[in-house]
């Protein structure tokens, strides 16, 4: 086995082994200490509930995933568009950057009830807006930082060749900002799932992971609640991995002759 292939295998095997060890330790701790399910259910009990409730978990993952996807796309488009404008205009930067900072610290516990009242509890719009707000700040800040990393000499060189502002952005500014953009999206993709699940705690349609976790915990079905938590973890990892694969595809496309 070559060194490169060994590094690739170890990169996947190591976290799987660590996860297996954690599960074994968790199961042993719960069984030997006789921990009650309402404090900490065992992995085997959670797995049993996951098998029994797999269709409910899958439906809840789809409902939450749709809200995350819509909010993620809207938040990224807004953040990239406003970052492009802020990079070109110091005045616009002074207006938008404080707003982005405020959006990053906006509490979901206050935002969710207000949006539910505004759009109605039968609408998914409040949850999608919350995800977009949470996504906006990390993508905006990272993209703006990337847009400002362009070396002035390169800008002057392209301007000497009479490049238009669009040509300058297409060939120099935007490609240079792509690593920063994907860093922001990777951060936002995981946070977006957390935001969607938390937003579902505060009323609205009872079809997502957050509302299912609340309902199961209220009925003392703690292993089932943890099964929905496991669904949220899988959903977050899925969005993160898709973002990672998209980033690698873009890098390979740029590296190709």
CATH number of 41-253: 1.10.3720.10
- Give the model confidence (pLDDT) of 176-205 as tens digits: 888 899 999 999 988 899 999 988 887 777
d(CA 147, CA 178) in angstroms, rounded, equals 9
To the nearest whole number, what is the mean pLDDT of the chain? 86
| Prediction pTM value | 0.83
pLDDT digits (tens, 9 = 90+) for 199-254: 888 777 778 898 899 888 888 888 899 999 999 999 999 999 999 899 888 877 76
DSSP string, 101-137: HHHHT--HHHHHHHHHHHH-TT-SHHHHHHHHHHHHH
């Amino acid at each position: 086995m070559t060194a490169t292939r060994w590094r690739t295998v170890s990169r996947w095997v190591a976290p799987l082994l660590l996860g297996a060890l954690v599960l074994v330790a968790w199961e042993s701790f719960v069984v030997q200490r006789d921990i009650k399910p309402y404090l900490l259910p065992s992995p085997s009990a959670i797995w049993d509930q996951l098998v029994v409730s797999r269709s409910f978990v899958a439906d809840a993952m789809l409902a939450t995933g749709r809200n995350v996807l819509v909010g993620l796309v809207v938040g990224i488009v807004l953040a990239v568009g406003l970052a492009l404008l802020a990079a070109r205009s110091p005045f616009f930067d002074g207006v938008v950057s404080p707003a982005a900072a405020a959006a990053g610290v906006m509490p979901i516990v206050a935002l969710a009830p207000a949006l539910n009242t505004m759009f109605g509890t039968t609408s998914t719009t409040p949850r999608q807006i919350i995800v977009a707000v949470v996504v906006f700040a990390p993508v905006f800040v990272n993209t703006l930082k990337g847009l400002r990393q362009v070396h002035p000499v390169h800008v002057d060189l392209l301007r000497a060749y009479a490049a238009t502002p669009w040509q300058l952005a297409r060939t120099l500014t935007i490609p240079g900002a792509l690593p920063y953009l994907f860093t922001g999206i990777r951060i936002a993709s995981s946070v977006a799932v957390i935001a969607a699940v938390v937003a579902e705690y505060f009323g609205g349609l009872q079809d997502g992971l957050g509302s299912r976790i609340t309902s199961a915990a209220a009925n003392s079905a703690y292993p089932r609640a943890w099964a929905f938590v496991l669904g949220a973890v899988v959903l977050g990892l899925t969005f993160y991995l898709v973002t990672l694969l998209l980033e690698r595809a873009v890098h390979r496309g740029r590296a190709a002759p």
